[in-house]
Amino acid sequence: MGDFAGMWRLDGRPVDEADLTRMAQGLDGRNVAPARIWRSGPVALVHRRPARPFTPGEARELQPLTGASGAVLVADSHPGALPILTALERRGVDGVLEGLCGSFAFAVWQPSERRLTLARDGAGFRTLFLHRSERLIAFSTRLRALLSLPDIPLDLDEHALAASLILDQSQPERTIYRAIDRVPMGHVAVLTAQGTRVSRWWSLPRPGTLRHRNDSEVEEHARQVLDTVMDDALQAEGPVTSCLTGGLDSSTIVTTALRRLGPRRLLAVTRVPDGPTPGDTACNYHDESPRASAMAALHPGIDWYPISGDGGDWGESDARRWHLEGGQPTGASVNIAWFFPVYRFMEGQGSRVLLGGEQGNGYFSYSGLSLLPELFLGLRWGRLAGHLLALARNEGRSAAYFFKREVLRPFEPLSWRMRRLGRGPSPWSSHSALNPAFTREIRLDQSLDTGRYRQRVDGGHHSTFEARRWLLCDETARDVRGVLRAMTGMDLRIPLADRRVLEFFGSLPLDQFLRNGVTRSLARRLLAGQVPAETVGNRTAGTQNGDWFTRLSAARPAMIADLARLRSSPLARRVIDLDRIQGLLDHWPRDAAAAEPRRREYFHLLTRGLDMAGFLAWRESANN
């Protein structure tokens, strides 16, 4: 495990010592060991592992690793790199990928064939960036390492900048730099002196392709998959910590971990608000600790800690630190910084591995509601009517409500939806601070894939496959995770995004998830008897950062000062609607209750807009 970088000089020149130093420094982070380097003429690989291994056996993996065939491997992977190299020597790259599970990004140089291969896992929780020009190939798990190389141009891609700010996930291979691409998740890139071939090696499964005889068989198979994945996730030096929110996904992580740990104890943490929160609604609650506490009370093997703000500082509140570490705007640094007290608590407990329940709602705990438009398209109206009536009975709403929301909504033209909801002339207007003049200049409305982007504005999609693909392909969030590890020294593991989980739950028929008017039915059945009844029957969603308005209000004077400074940046003025941001800062809500209905504007549009403007001004000053 650990970050890596490498380069291949296609002009045949030996790799320069200064470039090796730059790449090694670009891989720096909290509690990271010195770089280890392999080089041979025009090719070099650099790896930096954690100073203290995350998993048993990792200390023996002194990367770069060289196989009997002469192949040289660097990998950021869990489980480790040695199994990848062993399989590579026996079966080749295709054979490795076919059987490889867990989260990984790797690069392998095969000198006998003069071939470089780069690959990422299907869920993409390890990043991998790539530059290719006439004279140079360079790659790294950290964007920062590539930005340090003088031979790589740093021109910004304006369309990718806009996509980043409007949260468009439809072109995952692009970064905000014209000369740097991503190796997309689930893809492999094969590079030779003659060219580059990028191909998909793993695809999302299609629902309904896996059948069982009965529900008991489904549930038993599901537990086996979860247990197998959890055994890998629990491999750690020192105690493992799990997030506990009281929701279905985090509760599944905790109960499965307890089952596999046996007599060993599990640390569980819940981030609690530090200030006033708006009142709970029929859809959301803002403090997850009561549900987490009830869950912990059921299981004596849990050591549960509610975590509040600690006054510490690892640089999480400094926007420039995020820009420097990540090489791009993070967009969500205010959100991510809220969790840093958790990481500092873990360090005090000697824990460096955190289990999270992300990605569960697309597969493991899928709602199943996309079954309804599929039944509509398939003219299976009798079954559709049965599901609508069952939902109405169970949720206390009319069948017409669910027909309109779940069946008709995915087919509603996006322009109609925007007008009906009063969200402005463009689908991104309600949550993005892009300057309208800039969007016209780059013709954003013509390049946007509205068929996929409709999901960003809660427009739904009639295809389960497309809906799941959209949920999975947020590359910007993956980029931030790499930066987060560098800043905290913690390894975040997402068991519910493991390939084995995605393949099993993603292949099940949709009626496993929508059953008798109950959404997320399979997850509820699996958890019954293991968690509080309130959790199993819960229909509302926990909201992280429930105290967001309190924290944003404290930062308001600094944001006003930042905005005044940013007005001197021509690039920031061109891309960002600074006047709109000024209006939000000038007309501040009176309290948390008044702010919550405008959360989209203040917590997302305002903070992301200022972050992007600050990044653009920073890049502009660096170029000058």
Tell me the per-residue pLDDT of 445-489, one tens digit each, with 9 for 90 and over. 888 888 888 888 888 888 899 888 888 888 888 888 889 999 999
Kindly state whether residue 371 falls inside one of the protein's structural domains: no
The answer to whether position 370 is within a domain reads no
In angstroms, the CA 455 to CA 410 distance is 9
Distance between start and end Cα atoms, the chain: 37
The pLDDT assigned to 96 comes to 85
Whether the Cβ atoms of residue 321 and residue 315 lie closer than 8 Å to each other: yes
Same domain, 607 and 575: yes
What's the pLDDT score for residue 623? 65
DSSP 518: B
CA distances for 416 relative to 411, 412, 470, angstroms: 11, 7, 22
- Determine the Cα–Cα distance for residues 281 and 270; give it in Å rounded to an integer: 21
Would 208 be classed as within a structural domain?
A: no
Residue 574 neighbours by CB distance under 10 Å: 14
Q: Output the pLDDT for position 508.
A: 97
Pairing of strands 240-243, 266-271: parallel
The answer to whether position 29 is within a domain reads: yes
Q: Are 288 and 321 in the same domain?
A: yes
Residues 509 and 602 in one domain: no
- Which pLDDT value is given to residue 624? 58
Q: Residue 428 and residue 164: Cα distance in Å, rounded?
A: 11
- Cα separation, 472 vs 497, in Å, equals 9
109, with CB counted inside 10 A (0-12, 13-18, 19+), is: buried
The total of other beta-carbon atoms located within 10 Å of residue 223's CB is 13
CATH number for the domain that contains residue 158: 3.60.20.10
Rounded to an integer, what distance in angstroms lies between the CA atom of residue 306 and that of residue 373?
41
Give the number of other Cβ atoms within 10 Å of residue 621's Cβ: 10
Q: In what order do the strands lie in the sheet with 491-493?
A: 302-307, 266-271, 240-243, 353-355, 491-493
Residues of the chain predicted below pLDDT 50: none
- The mean predicted confidence, pLDDT, of the chain is 92
Q: Could you list the residue range(s) of the whole structural domain that residue 331 is in?
A: 215-364+475-542
Q: Strand 115-120 vs strand 103-110: parallel, antiparallel, or unpaired?
A: antiparallel
Distance (Å, whole) CA 451 – CA 436: 21
Residues 530, 458: one domain?
no
d(CA 166, CA 522): 34
Secondary structure (3-state) at 226 = helix
Q: What pTM does this model have?
A: 0.94
Residue type, 74: V
User: Does residue 69 lie within any of the structural domains?
Assistant: yes
How far is 306 from 78, CA to CA, in rounded Å?
28
Beta bridge partners of 103: 78
Within this chain, do residues 260 and 275 fall inside the same structural domain, yes or no?
Answer: yes
* Domain final position from 472, 495, 526: 472
Domain membership flag for residue 209: no
How many domains does one find in the chain? 4
Q: What is the pLDDT of residue 506?
A: 96
In a domain, 373, yes or no: no
In sequence order, what are the residues at sequence separation of 6 or more whose Cβ sits closer than 8 angstroms to the Cβ of residue 382?
none
DSSP 244: -
Q: What six digits make up the tokens of 366?
A: 């899928």
The C-alpha atoms of residue 148 and residue 5 are separated, in whole angstroms, by 12
Closest CA to 5 of 13, 110, 21: 21
| DSSP code per residue over 385-431 | HHHHHHHHHHHTS-HHHHIIIIIIGGGS-HHHHHHHHT--SSTTTTT
What pLDDT was estimated at residue 110? 95
- CA distance to 148, 180, 322, 442, per residue, from 610 (Å): 25, 24, 13, 21
Tens digit of each residue's pLDDT (9 = 90 or more) over 62-82? 999 999 999 999 999 988 899
Structure tokens at 148: 């340090």
Which DSSP string corresponds to 433-460?
-B-HHHHHHTTHHHH--HHHHGGGGT--
The CATH number linked to 233 is 3.40.50.620
Query: What pLDDT sits at residue 313?
Result: 93
Are 392 and 338 contained in the same domain?
no
Write down which residue in 542, 574, 589 finishes a domain.
542
Inside any domain, residue 210? no
Same structural domain, 594 and 524: no
Q: Is the same domain home to 493 and 437?
A: no
Contacts of 271 (CB under 8 A, 6+ apart): 288, 307, 308, 338, 339, 341, 342, 544
Together in a domain, 72 and 170: yes
Residues 92 and 135 reside in one and the same domain: yes
How many whole angstroms separate alpha carbon 545 and alpha carbon 543?
A: 7
DSSP conformational letter for 604: I
Pairwise CA distance, residues 45 & 5, whole Å: 6
Distance CA 210, CA 199 (A): 25
Residue 162 near residue 442 (C-beta atoms within 8 A) = yes
For residues 185 and 104, give the distance between their C-alpha atoms in angstroms, rounded to a whole number: 10
Same domain, 451 and 514: no
Cα distance between residue 33 and residue 23, in whole Å: 14
User: Do 219 and 185 belong to one domain?
Assistant: no
Q: Look at strands 3-9 and 240-243 and give their pairing.
A: unpaired
Domain edge (last residue) among 472, 506, 528: 472
